[in-house]
Amino acid sequence: MRSYDIATIEGDGIGPEVCRAAVTVLTEACGTSLLRFANFDGGALHYQRSGAVLPEDTFAACNSMHAMLHGAAGLPGVTYPDGTEVGNDLHLQLRFKLDLFANVRPIRLYAGVQSPLAGFQPGQIDYVIVRENTEGLYASRGAGVNLRGEVVTDQLVITRKGTERVAKFSFDLARRRQGAPRDGKRRVTVCDKANILRSYAFFRAVCDEVAAGYADVEIDYAYADAITVHMLKKPDFYDVIVAENMFGDIISDLGAGTVGGLGIAASAELGERHGLFQGAHGSAPDIAGQNLASPVATVLSGALMLRWLGEQHGDAALLSGADRVEQAVEAVLAEGRVVPRDLGGQASCTDMTEAICRRLR
Ligand code: ATP
Ligand code: MG
């Protein structure tokens, strides 16, 4: 049997708790010989201790191992000498160095989870947001221009290459994914403000060009403001939504809110060869270190990791592991006996982990 090396970075805040929980669940699902986890330093707390957010050996491991599974990074108040926040620079650096251009965030309503949207049943909300992860309005992060404290600008950068690859990724995903919108059509919705800014008009035009190569997938358009209403009124219409970096950031938190919040929202950041998996939430310092965090988002991100690795390497053991982890989470949530606090229950991080592992056994 092959084995796969996974670089974990537990990171800051609730990162260590949720990352360890995911490692426990994945090991339960796949055994100890399929996945080999090794933990590395990185993040804001590590910067405070050592002066390095992303130490060299950590980067080397992330670059060379089969996948990355992370907790969370960033702690309020930890700053660089110039006063700017360290934040989740760990992931920003990895994103750019490894060119992780597609940030994939599934939005799926599980049985047992109360959606704030009335009238939608589990299975009816099941779509994926693909956030462009390397350019757009966040391209000039840290490089904006401040003119004598009077005028401040940031640059929005849309490139043909950056848009083409994220659009292709989204159409390919629409072709092969399982969940279907209510009308059964495979669909990619392009989220932009093409009516206002020429950069977004270009984003849309390049998506149109890519769409021409996918006759079996419908292309659909939504302005970023309008989609926030559509996502509440007709979430069952969506299949894959592709968005520029900042719009993707915003609508993926909104999407998470419609299916139970950040504690349940998984995320994958993918490049040509690399994959970084972690919950869509941040380090949640308000609840860190108290065994209060929900590990569900990180566990489901771990399932995304198994599926991605399984597809990359054509390995059925990984694909079946992905299915079993998702089914175990689904069963625990549906049963409603062990419920994490952010979903209205009393279960601790370790209670949830144990309940998911029991299901797997
Ligand atoms: P970032 O800037 O990294 O996106 P953020 O400021 O958006 O971070 P998060 O850390 O994502 O903040 O969390 C916001 C709040 O949501 C937290 O303070 C916490 O109360 C809640 N939360 C986030 N993740 C979880 C989790 N896994 N389990 C329970 N509650 C969570
Ligand atoms: Mg956030």
Q: Judge whether 49 and 344 are in contact, CB under 8 Å.
A: no
The residue whose C-alpha atom lies closest to atom 15 belonging to ligand 1 is 284
Ligand number, closest to the Cα atom of 261: 1
Query: Is pLDDT at 233 greater than 80 in this prediction?
Result: yes
Report the atom number in ligand 1 closest to the C-alpha of 88: 3
Give DSSP secondary structure letters for 158-173: --HHHHHHHHHHHHHH
pLDDT at 184: 85
Q: How many CA atoms lie within 13 A of 121 on its CB side?
A: 2
Query: Is pLDDT at 178 greater than 90 in this prediction?
Result: no
Query: Is pLDDT at 1 greater than 80 in this prediction?
Result: no
CA 261 remoteness from chain centre:
13
Topology given in CATH for the domain delimited by 115-259: Isopropylmalate Dehydrogenase (3.40.718)
Of 56, 64, 73, the closest CA to residue 9 belongs to 73
pLDDT at 280: 95
Q: Give distance in angstroms: CA of 85 to centre of ligand 2.
A: 14
Query: Is pLDDT at 308 greater than 90 in this prediction?
Result: yes
Query: Is pLDDT at 141 greater than 90 in this prediction?
Result: no
Query: Average of pLDDT values for 337-357?
Result: 97
Q: Judge whether 68 and 94 are in contact, CB under 8 Å.
A: yes
* The CATH number of the domain covering residues in 1-99+273-361: 3.40.718.10
Structure tokens belonging to residue 106: 């599934």
* Residue 354: CB atoms within 10 Å: 18
For ligand 1, whether the C-beta of 286 sits within 6 Å is yes
For ligand 1, whether the C-beta of 283 sits within 6 Å is yes
For ligand 1, whether the C-beta of 263 sits within 6 Å is yes
Query: Average of pLDDT values for 101-106?
Result: 98
pLDDT at 138: 87
Show Cβ contacts of residue 312 under 8 Å, excluding neighbours closer than 6 positions. none
pLDDT at 167: 98
In the chain, which segments carry CATH 3.40.718.10?
1-99+273-361, 115-259
Ligand number, closest to the Cα atom of 252: 2
Q: Give distance in angstroms: CA of 312 to centre of ligand 1.
A: 31
The C-alpha atoms of residue 263 and residue 23 are separated, in whole angstroms, by: 17
Per-residue pLDDT of 33-55, as tens digits, reads 999 999 999 999 999 999 999 99
Query: Is pLDDT at 145 greater than 90 in this prediction?
Result: no
- What distances in angstroms separate CA 156 from CA 144, 151, 197, one per listed residue? 10, 16, 10
